[in-house]
């Protein structure tokens, strides 16, 4: 089984690469030829020339609605009969060439002037996004199929020309799926609006549904709920709206139709694939829950890891602080011990110095002791000498005291004051005067 899967995958990749090579190496002349085919097709439709128009389609043609070339041709003829002045226009958005196959994306529009059953003039406008599939044959490029991605058609008459209501529907739904169609329109004053919304399958011949008109609500919005078919058939949602105005004529109430509009929108229905085994499949909601749980687990793990790292960092910082503290304490102890040692050394030096000075003084005293004794003996041995020395000392002290008393304290004139200067008596100062120093 695994080998088969790998083989299919390799084959798909190979085909994809091959197509890519064709797209890249395709000749510009081929793209020009394809655009020319589409252009001539539109020109033939605008001339209502069926032979010229149909020659651009291959006999094997079949479109996404299951219509073959015979049915498609009949629909084209009916359109030209109903809208004799219809005109088509197209814009080729992109062309991709893959060898002898090509895909063209085209925006097509159609416009026509029409009249309603109420003898109201009207206008038709259709806008469609189409994809054409072509292949290269001996007669040139031919259309083999087409897929209508979106298709909106508007028919408006009377007062509703240029005031087309808005119809909102999904452009694609699954088979047997519920969906809503909403019609919105602002009703003019003195006018009554009636509307309906219907669902129709894309069939041949087209089977129109019965219209059930009802008054448009005051808020201007009419909604209906539908369920898409399970037959693998595409659908149309058809909304219609009519404007009526009540009038009195000879005291009789007359209701006249003043405007009509039809809005037709295509819905592509995706058929249900009945060959899908759903056993063992995990729903999207369950996958999202698992992913959310996984993300939460990863986030929690990151937070826990971050918390552990923070704890380790804090522990590391605390260890560093402890080491620095221990180192600082050790340095302080060493410093204190060094200081103590230095202090003890200084004390010892001071004590040694003091001892030396004391010893020196004692030696000096010992040396001077005999001479002092001799002087004292000499002084004592001379009679009356002590008294003489005493009188001399007293005389000297008196002279010194006298000199000290007179020095710098006496002057015949005032020191620092001019003798011609007159000194005024001191006056009493006012109470509010202020000395300025």
Q: What is the CATH number of the domain that holds 103?
A: 3.10.450.50
Share of the chain above pLDDT 70, in %: 67
Share of the chain above pLDDT 90, in %: 49
Residue 435 lies in a domain: no
Hey, what are 238's tokens? 């058809």
CATH code (residue 178) = 2.60.40.1930
User: Distance of CA 170 to CAs 68, 102, 175, 226, 236, Å?
Assistant: 26, 29, 13, 11, 11
Judge contact between 228 and 179, C-beta under 8 A: yes
Residue 417 lies in a domain: no
Both 205 and 248 in one domain: the answer is yes
Q: Which domain holds residue 184?
A: 159-275
Q: How far apart (Å, rounded) are the C-alpha atoms in residues 198 and 177?
A: 16
CA angle 25, 26, 29 (to 5 degrees): 135
CB burial of residue 135 (10 Å; 0-12, 13-18, 19+) = middle
Both 52 and 177 in one domain: the answer is no
Q: What is the pLDDT of residue 126?
A: 97
Q: What's the pLDDT tens digit per position in 337-384?
A: 666 566 566 656 666 766 766 666 666 655 555 555 555 544 444 445
Instruction: Point out the least confidently predicted range of 248-252, 311-315, 341-345.
Output: 341-345
User: Distance of CA 206 to CAs 149, 169, 203, Å?
Assistant: 20, 20, 5
Q: Which residues contact 74 (CB under 8 A, 6 or more apart)?
A: 204
Spatial CA neighbour of 135 closest among 25, 24, 247, 59: 59
Residue 349 lies in a domain: yes
Both 94 and 185 in one domain: the answer is no
Residue 412 lies in a domain: no
Residue 377 lies in a domain: no
What total number of domains does the chain contain?
A: 3
Q: What is the mean pLDDT of the chain?
A: 79
Q: What's the pLDDT tens digit per position in 178-237?
A: 999 999 999 988 899 999 999 999 999 988 888 788 999 999 999 999 999 999 899 999
- Looking at per-residue pLDDT, the higher value among 368 and 426 belongs to 368
pLDDT at 20 over 50: no
What confidence tier does 2 reach under pLDDT thresholds 50, 70, 90? very low
Q: How far apart (Å, rounded) are the C-alpha atoms in residues 344 and 352?
A: 12
Judge contact between 152 and 239, C-beta under 8 A: no
Hey, what are 146's tokens? 């087409």
Residues in the chain, how many?
437
pLDDT at 44 over 70: yes
Q: What is the pLDDT of residue 361?
A: 62
Both 338 and 250 in one domain: the answer is no
Instruction: Point out the least confidently predicted range of 34-43, 268-277, 286-295, 302-311.
Output: 302-311
Q: What is the pLDDT of residue 351?
A: 65
Q: What is the pLDDT of residue 404?
A: 43
Hey, what are 65's tokens? 């609605």
Q: Which residues contact 175 (CB under 8 A, 6 or more apart)?
A: 228, 229, 230, 231, 232, 269, 270, 271, 272
What confidence tier does 305 reach under pLDDT thresholds 50, 70, 90? confident
Spatial CA neighbour of 239 closest among 187, 186, 182, 188: 182
Q: What is the pLDDT of residue 310?
A: 81
- Looking at per-residue pLDDT, the higher value among 253 and 226 belongs to 226
What confidence tier does 316 reach under pLDDT thresholds 50, 70, 90? confident
Q: What is the pLDDT of residue 46?
A: 97
Q: Is 368 left (phi over 0), alpha (psi -120 to 50) or beta?
A: alpha
Q: What's the pLDDT tens digit per position in 103-119?
A: 999 999 999 999 887 78
What confidence tier does 247 reach under pLDDT thresholds 50, 70, 90? confident
Instruction: Point out the least confidently predicted range of 197-211, 266-280, 315-329.
Output: 315-329
């Amino acid at each position: 089984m695994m080998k088969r899967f790998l083989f299919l995958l390799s084959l798909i990749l190979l085909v994809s690469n091959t197509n890519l090579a064709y797209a890249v190496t395709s000749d510009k002349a081929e793209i020009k030829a394809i655009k020319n085919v589409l252009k001539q097709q539109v020109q033939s439709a605008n001339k209502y020339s069926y032979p010229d128009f149909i020659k651009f389609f291959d006999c094997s043609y079949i479109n996404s609605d299951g219509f073959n070339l015979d049915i498609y041709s009949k629909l084209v003829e009916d359109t030209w009969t109903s809208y004799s002045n219809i005109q088509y226009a197209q814009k080729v958005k992109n062309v991709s060439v893959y060898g002898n196959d090509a895909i063209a994306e085209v925006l097509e529009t159609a416009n026509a002037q029409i009249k309603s059953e109420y003898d109201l003039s009207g206008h038709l406008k259709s806008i469609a996004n189409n994809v054409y599939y072509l292949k290269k044959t001996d007669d040139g490029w031919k259309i083999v199929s087409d897929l209508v991605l979106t298709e909106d058609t508007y028919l408006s008459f009377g007062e509703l020309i240029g005031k087309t209501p808005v119809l909102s529907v999904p452009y694609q739904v699954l088979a047997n799926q519920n969906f809503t169609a909403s019609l919105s329109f602002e009703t003019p004053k003195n006018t009554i609006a009636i509307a309906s919304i219907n669902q129709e399958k894309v069939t041949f011949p087209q089977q129109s549904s019965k219209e059930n008109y009802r008054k448009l609500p005051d808020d201007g919005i009419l909604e209906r709920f539908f369920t898409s078919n399970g037959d693998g058939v595409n659908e149309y949602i058809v909304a219609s709206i009519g404007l009526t105005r009540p009038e009195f004529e000879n005291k009789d109430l007359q209701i006249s139709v003043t405007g009509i509009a039809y809005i037709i929108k295509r819905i592509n229905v995706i058929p249900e694939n009945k060959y899908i085994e759903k056993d063992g499949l995990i729903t999207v909601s369950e996958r999202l829950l698992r992913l959310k749980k996984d993300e939460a687990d990863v986030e929690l793990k990151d937070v826990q890891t971050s918390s552990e790292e923070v704890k380790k960092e804090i522990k590391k910082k605390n260890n560093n602080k402890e080491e620095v503290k221990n180192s600082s304490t050790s340095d302080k102890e060493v410093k204190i011990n060094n200081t103590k040692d230095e202090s003890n050394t200084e004390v010892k030096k001071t004590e040694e110095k003091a001892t030396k000075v004391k010893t020196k003084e004692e030696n000096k005293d010992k040396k001077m002791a005999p001479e002092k004794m001799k002087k004292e003996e000499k002084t004592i041995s001379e009679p009356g000498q002590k008294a003489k020395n005493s009188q001399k000392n007293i005389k000297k002290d008196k002279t010194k005291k006298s000199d000290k008393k007179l020095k710098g304290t006496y002057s015949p004139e005032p020191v620092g004051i001019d003798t011609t200067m007159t000194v005024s008596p001191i006056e009493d100062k006012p109470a509010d005067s202020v000395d300025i120093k």
